[in-house]
Amino acid sequence: METTQDRRIFIDRLSQFPDQEVLIRGWIHRLRTLAKTTFIIVRDCSGEAQCVAASETLKELRLKLEDAIEIRGAVRLDGRARRGFEVEASEVTLLNPCANNLPFNSSTSTDSVGLDTLLEFRPLGVRNDEIGNIFRIQAATLKYFREFLTNHRFTEIITSKIVAFGTEGGANLFEIKYFDRIAYLAQSPQFYKEHGVAGFERVFETGHVYRAEPHATSRHLTEYYSLDFELGFIDGPDDVIQVERELLTHIFERLNAECGEILEHYRNGPLPSMLHVPIWEFGKCLELLRDNFGRADLVDDLDPKGERQICQLAEQETGVAAVFVIGYPIGNRPFYTAPRGDGRTANSFDLLFQGLEITTGGQRLHRRSDLEAALRGRGLDPAKFEGHLKMFELGMPPHGGLAIGLERLTAQILGLSSVKQAVLYPRDRYRTTP
């Protein structure tokens, strides 16, 4: 359909049209005006090209950085130009000018620009590769997540985010005014993905979840994007861990191969293989922290500092700063968690990666009677969970799964200091715009 005369050509295809007349469109990424000649670096979604024009012909356009423009011109092979060619512009059209006095632009460093300003000028921010590439990596991560699971017999499901009650008993739920009653925003697709196992055996979902977290830290968002999977007919939590090892290794290998150039700007060295990430007992972790760091303050959970310390020890031992921690006290885990033989610890785990917990998962209870007992043990009334419990009478197999926070995973892949840098439009205690 595309003709070189009438239709716009993507910049990464220009070298296929030597000495031909082409039409390109994009933003002014750099601009250098000399007395006779003006050099315009134009950028579109495919790349950058240097265009040259007689300065005289551009005067009235008052071109500036970030303007949206169209250039008609001829492709000239030129060894001096960065890509081996440049475009000799015969006609430059201003499609839409940019405002004056922007706080930053797409070709300069955004290191000193604060998050508020980056959000206020979001489109300009993401036009800058330092920011935009975070979201390209995020999109690629999401693609490889779905790719791996689809290739391993998982069915993608879409479940409702409007629910009649919470999965974990009711704290930190956002209320929705739902016509003449109250509903809530889903905290997790946990129940639905378990039901999905009873239907499809293996399911995954990628979607938003909501937590009315009253505190605003660099690690907390009220809305985040959860990568969930759940699978049936497992022997124990190790089956879930093994899927995650292979899944993350797939994602990381694909990122290294397809986005290596971007990754280099953010981290030292490629992403590691996760195939041999060890599984450490929670009890052992407490001992290690006591012995290596003098931590005597931790009892039934790790704190952020402890997570970093454990990753440091894992890196010393395996070369990869990652470890699955299993066997937390059962009381700290949700009611649907399967206990281990001792009854006191849980068959659930966290994955700590480069100092941050990026996954919680494990084996779940799969018998109605066990779930009822677990609810009662926490002072919850099984009758209120009848709609959920009923699904366990439909041939629910032993099953387990996990959830990965996409923003946390993105932040750890790229070494970002705040999870908010990995969200296009973050939501927290105080922020509902842009």
Binding residues for a copy of itself restricted to 327-386, rule: CB under 8 A: 366-367
Pair 178, 207: CB distance under 8 Å: no
Q: Does position 175 bind a copy of itself by CB under 8 A?
A: yes
Candidate residues 42, 338, 391, 403; the one interacting with a copy of itself per rule CB under 8 A = 391
Structure tokens at 90: 């015969």
- Of the candidates 315, 401, 299, which has an alpha carbon nearest to the alpha carbon of residue 353? 315
Map residues 207-246 to x or -, x wherever contact with a copy of itself holds by CB under 8 A.
Answer: xx-x-x-x-------xx-x------xx--------x----
Q: Does position 395 bind a copy of itself by CB under 8 A?
A: yes
Structure tokens at 383: 């009758």
Distance CA 293, CA 291 (A): 6
Q: Does position 159 bind a copy of itself by CB under 8 A?
A: yes
Distance CA 385, CA 167 (A): 9
CB of 301 to a copy of itself, least distance (A): 26
Nearer to a copy of itself, 77 or 162 (CB): 162
Q: Does position 136 bind a copy of itself by CB under 8 A?
A: yes
Candidate residues 31, 81, 102, 115; the one interacting with a copy of itself per rule CB under 8 A = 102
Candidate residues 31, 58, 81, 98; the one interacting with a copy of itself per rule CB under 8 A = 98
Pair 74, 91: CB distance under 8 Å: no
The owner of tokens 């599984």 is 279
Q: Which of residues 405-424 bind a copy of itself (CB under 8 A)?
A: 406, 423-424
- Any residues with CB less than 8 A from the CB of 291 and at least 6 apart, and which? none
Q: Does position 393 bind a copy of itself by CB under 8 A?
A: yes
Q: What angle do CA 161, 162, 166 make, to 5 degrees?
A: 90
Nearer to a copy of itself, 201 or 315 (CB): 201
Q: Does position 66 bind a copy of itself by CB under 8 A?
A: yes
Candidate residues 121, 144, 252, 328; the one interacting with a copy of itself per rule CB under 8 A = 121
Size of the site for a copy of itself (CB under 8 A): 99
- Of the candidates 274, 140, 254, 151, which has an alpha carbon nearest to the alpha carbon of residue 202? 151
CB of 428 to a copy of itself, least distance (A): 10
In 186-240 the beta strands, taken as DSSP E runs, fall at 202-210, 223-232
CB of 212 to a copy of itself, least distance (A): 7
Distance CA 359, CA 339 (A): 19
Region binding a copy of itself by CB under 8 A among candidate stretches 54-62, 152-160, 249-257, 283-291: 152-160
Map residues 291-320 to x or -, x wherever contact with a copy of itself holds by CB under 8 A.
Answer: ------------------------------
Nearer to a copy of itself, 54 or 95 (CB): 95
Q: Assign residue 389 a region (left: φ > 0; alpha: ψ between -120 and 50; beta: otherwise).
A: alpha
Q: Does position 198 bind a copy of itself by CB under 8 A?
A: yes
- Any residues with CB less than 8 A from the CB of 383 and at least 6 apart, and which? none
Q: How far is CA 301 from CA 32, 321, 322, 350, in A?
A: 58, 19, 17, 11
CB of 404 to a copy of itself, least distance (A): 14
CB of 430 to a copy of itself, least distance (A): 8
Distance CA 130, CA 266 (A): 9
Candidate residues 32, 62, 122, 276; the one interacting with a copy of itself per rule CB under 8 A = 122
Q: Does position 115 bind a copy of itself by CB under 8 A?
A: no
Pair 136, 143: CB distance under 8 Å: no
Q: Does position 192 bind a copy of itself by CB under 8 A?
A: yes
Calculate Rg over the CA atoms of the chain: 27
Q: Does position 25 bind a copy of itself by CB under 8 A?
A: yes
> In whole angstroms, what separates CA 323 from the centre of its chain?
20
Q: Does position 97 bind a copy of itself by CB under 8 A?
A: yes
Q: Does position 150 bind a copy of itself by CB under 8 A?
A: yes
